[in-house]
Structure 1
Amino acid sequence: MKKLFSNLTVQVLTAIALGIAVGALFPAFGAALKPVADTFISLIKMLITPIIFLTVVIGIAGMGSMKKVGRVGGKALLYFEIVTTLALAIGMLVANVTQPGAGVQATAQAVMQDSKKAEEASKFTSQAGEMNWVEFFTHMVPDNVVGAFAKGDILQVLLFSVLFGLALNRMGQQAQPLMKTFDRLSHAMFGVLAMVMKLAPLGAFGGMAFTIGKYGIATLLPLGKLMLVVYATMFLFIFGVLNLIMRYYGLRLMPYLRFIKEEILLVLGTSSSESALPRMIDKMERYGCSRSVAGLVIPTGYSFNLDGTSIYLSIAVIFLAQAFNIPLSFTQQLTLIAILVVTSKGAAGVTGSGFIVLASTLAATKVIPVESVALLLGVDRFMSEARAITNVIGNGIATLVVAKSEGEFDEARHQLALQGRSVPEELQPEPAALIPRVEVHA
């Protein structure tokens, strides 16, 4: 029994159950526990940028070829665009078939008349007006590297890490002393992460108690069909589309999900996919992917491969059109998919990004009133868990696909991971940057 409760999975599950009970029975107290969850997520965010920097630099510096770096990045981006576009299309198809917005017209009118909710929606509307793809690309370049690390801007840190790794790659043997230091720092950072993860049950408890305490189960009833459609679509996407992708590459979905179950439960409790980012890099290495591929694909996927967010956004747009009796032609729906492909990337790393993307899309099309997003304010938090979990699962599968296609997948480590055994020293993913290689200078 003692061994059972020392398991992180059991601890997080217990914490989630207690959080639901506390939020339901003592809503005021549950709502006041938000700082507990926020503090845990801040501890995780504290480690994200240094871990991304060290992992990406070590991986790229040791790839041995600039062409390989470009090939891995190109494959990852191509995969991201294909799968997220497919997720958007599936979301729209399901929403058109199931009609989740039918029958909520009265609720929609009542929400629009609620001045408080209209005021909250206007915040997202004003932010949406400032979002565009030009700003997105210019924002990727930090005007201050230290500032990028301090703010925890993943895209800016990722860009600097790639450039730094490429520079060390060109230095060859001269960079080896520095790379050894980086490798030791990387191990130290993951050691700190292991200590922080002991607080995961506390973070999951606080997050779930806050969600139930603040919003209450009753807020789900008017929009229950929407939630059911979103959750069912994401379930089908994972066990349908992503499962087929894994089978094509000779992998199985269920063993993979069991391997990352702790990360899935952590995201469920905290409603934040970022809480699992550092551990997913480590888990994908242990599952067989090379350090260079895992370190490059996972952080990039957090901005470009948001499968769950894509499904939610496409369903939400059709839902709002149905709720406000606004018919959308097939051409208009195709236009919405095209706009969402761009805008879903434009709010990466922004708090409340789901609403900002949705509002910016509605503002661009000028067919559905932007203020209509107020209808989703009450249930958005309850759907954020499904979005985040799908995003995490999808990013891990993207890493496996790129690693397999690049021949950067270690089957011996993979089998040990499936058996739940620790990886022996001789099979540990060796930092490629420390492997001597012959440099050819023109």
Structure 2
Amino acid sequence: MDRRLTWYILAGMVLGVIVGQVLHAYVDPAVVKESVAPWLKLLSDIFLNLIKLLVAPLVLSTIVVGIANMGDSSALGRIGFRAISWFIIASLISIGLGLIMVNLFQPGVGAPIPEAAEAAKAVGEVKDLKATEFILSIFPKNAIEAMATNNILQILVFSIFAGVALSAIGEKGASLVRGADALAEMMLQVTGYVMRYAPVAVFGAIANVVAASGLDILGTYLELLVEFYLSLVLLWIILLTVGAIFLRQRIWTLIRYIRQPLMIAFSTASSEAALPKMFEQLDRFGVPRRISGFILPLGYSFNLDGSMMYMSFATIFIAQAYGIDLSITTQIMILLTLMISSKGIAAVPRASLVVITGTLAMFGLPVEGVAIILAIDQFLDMGRTATNVVGNAVATSVITKWEGMLEVEEPEFVEHPHAPAHTAHGGARGLELAEDMVEDERTKK
């Protein structure tokens, strides 16, 4: 379905360009604005409302289940602490670099977005929050209100408390954990249904933009793609350079070994599709499965370097396209919100769009911009997914080397059994592997 959906989205984009250009060239602009544009906009607005519908239950269910399934966090030990520390630093580098590059390139400035002036006027001047106000706004006074208003950080805080509490009460909370897990699976299914409507939304959004502005929007898209991929290349250089500090000459071997999972991730825009091959190649590189089996699933939820950069690019691009001036303080707060709120829902299809939508709504920015980004999201997704794979490969290898457990690599032609299946909620299995590792160390002592 994923491959067909990609083609359907591309078809919707092409059809939207054709219909929009015909309207722009041959129909009176007043007629288009009054009679046609509202119906085209309706197609994308329906999609936006459905995306908003997903935010609260997705964040709540996935975070609660992820934390509750971690069990005894002390069993994570030193390796877990180093992994999380690496993930946090890498995320900060990614969103920081994304912030610098999007402000340097300014791909959204002057973008021919219809009704941009009206949207910017409706939003008004974005108020700069003081640090104390921002921190206070994170903590909910009413969990139901937080979910009703899609306040993503407040939902996250409540989810963390709920997950930790369910983990603490053990068997008494098992039924609630199962219920949250069922809710997460249901929302994944609902997300799949919503994404099937994406080609129609893309058609409506593109046709509306092209009908109002002509083909100029295609130049904006091309500029965004080129500048985003240039920024990703710079991020790759940083990640591999840091990896080389620890792995030295073996960084070139790692690059050679991860070529296949990297191409799988890029072509399918799916990190999960590349996971079995990633396990196999890291085995050959010399990473023990008991370490990769713990760090990789954890990294797939918490170490999303490409997604971090994408969300910073997309959010600030939307603000630029609608002519909304954001202070550097507000931008930093937005990006920290993106970093925190994105944790734990990486396995959700188009999770970045869901997080961006919730963050835009939280800061009072035009959510309509998501429909514009959606048209080329597939191409952006391919690059950010490949970057996520590179980031997790480097993180796993470096932490293994840091622990002194990196073994001699095997020849690439050696056959390996298929990697075990890992689901979106791989933390529980990872914890079991980590506990086995800790027990082995105790036995050695």
Measure, in 1, the Cα distance between the counterparts of 2:299 and 2:163.
Answer: 17
1:134 paired to 2:157: yes
Measure, in 2, the Cα distance between the counterparts of 1:254 and 1:439.
Answer: 34
The partner residue of 1:93 within 100, 121, 130 is 100
1:267 deviates by 1.7
1:242 paired to 2:249: no
TM-score, normalised by the number of residues in structure 1: 0.59
* Residues 53-104 of structure 1: CA deviation (Å, up to 9, x unaligned): xxx99xx9xxxxx977311111100000000111000001001111111221
Structure 2, unmatched stretches of 5+, are 16-68, 120-146, 167-173, 186-197, 207-214, 418-432
The partner residue of 1:400 within 372, 397, 401 is 397
1:269 deviates by 2.3
1:145 deviates by 7.4
1:244 maps to amino acid: T
1:257 deviates by 2.8
1:339 deviates by 1.3
1:437 deviates by 6.2
The answer for the alignment partner of 2:359 in structure 1 is 361
TM-score, normalised by the number of residues in structure 2: 0.58
What aligned pairs does 1:101-250 form with structure 2 within 5 A after superposition? 101-106=108-113, 109=116, 128-129=150-151, 132-137=155-160, 138=162, 143=175, 221-238=219-236, 240-250=237-247
The partner residue of 1:422 within 390, 400, 414 is 414
1:370 paired to 2:367: yes
Structure 1, unmatched stretches of 5+, are 1-15, 29-55, 61-65, 113-124, 154-209, 426-430
In terms of mean alpha carbon deviation, does 254-263 or 355-364 score higher?
Answer: 254-263
1:130 deviates by 6.1
The answer for the alignment partner of 1:266 in structure 2 is 264
The answer for the alignment partner of 2:34 in structure 1 is none
CA spacing shift, 1:270–1:250, aligned 2, 3 Å: closer
The answer for the alignment partner of 1:185 in structure 2 is none
1:321 paired to 2:324: no
Is the CA contact (8 Å cut-off) linking 1:100 and 1:319 kept in structure 2? yes
Measure, in 2, the Cα distance between the counterparts of 1:336 and 1:435.
Answer: 38
| 3-state secondary structure, aligned to 1:369 | coil
1:245 deviates by 1.1
The answer for the alignment partner of 1:69 in structure 2 is 76
| 3-state secondary structure, aligned to 2:93 | helix
The partner residue of 1:384 within 378, 381, 400 is 381
The answer for the alignment partner of 1:303 in structure 2 is 301
Measure, in 1, the Cα distance between the counterparts of 2:163 and 2:379.
Answer: 30
Is the CA contact (8 Å cut-off) linking 1:101 and 1:322 kept in structure 2? yes
1:104 maps to amino acid: A
1:297 deviates by 0.5
In terms of mean alpha carbon deviation, does 131-140 or 251-260 score higher?
Answer: 131-140
1:256 deviates by 2.1
Is the CA contact (8 Å cut-off) linking 1:129 and 1:360 kept in structure 2? yes
CA spacing shift, 1:235–1:434, aligned 2, 3 Å: closer
Is the CA contact (8 Å cut-off) linking 2:150 and 2:362 kept in structure 1? no
Measure, in 2, the Cα distance between the counterparts of 1:343 and 1:436.
Answer: 34
- Which ranges of 4 or more aligned residues in structure 1 deviate by more than 6 Å? 144-153, 434-440
In terms of mean alpha carbon deviation, does 340-349 or 90-99 score higher?
Answer: 340-349
The partner residue of 1:283 within 281, 284, 308 is 281
| 3-state secondary structure, aligned to 1:289 | coil
1:134 maps to amino acid: V
Measure, in 2, the Cα distance between the counterparts of 1:102 and 1:436.
Answer: 56
| 3-state secondary structure, aligned to 1:345 | coil
The answer for the alignment partner of 2:346 in structure 1 is 348
Measure, in 2, the Cα distance between the counterparts of 1:282 and 1:327.
Answer: 47
Measure, in 1, the Cα distance between the counterparts of 2:300 and 2:149.
Answer: 21
Is the CA contact (8 Å cut-off) linking 1:103 and 1:323 kept in structure 2? yes
Is the CA contact (8 Å cut-off) linking 1:101 and 1:320 kept in structure 2? yes
| 3-state secondary structure, aligned to 2:375 | helix
CA spacing shift, 1:424–1:395, aligned 2, 3 Å: closer
Is the CA contact (8 Å cut-off) linking 1:91 and 1:312 kept in structure 2? yes
Measure, in 1, the Cα distance between the counterparts of 2:368 and 2:308.
Answer: 20
* Residues 371-429 of structure 1: CA deviation (Å, up to 9, x unaligned): 3222211111221111111111111111011101111110x2x2x34xx342899xxxx
Is the CA contact (8 Å cut-off) linking 2:253 and 2:285 kept in structure 1? no
Measure, in 2, the Cα distance between the counterparts of 1:354 and 1:71.
Answer: 30
Identical pairs, percent: 30
* Residues 114-147 of structure 1: CA deviation (Å, up to 9, x unaligned): xxxxxxxxxxx98955673135434686747778
Is the CA contact (8 Å cut-off) linking 1:286 and 1:423 kept in structure 2? no
1:85 maps to amino acid: L
| 3-state secondary structure, aligned to 1:319 | helix
Is the CA contact (8 Å cut-off) linking 2:260 and 2:277 kept in structure 1? no
1:86 maps to amino acid: I
1:235 maps to amino acid: V
1:347 deviates by 3.5
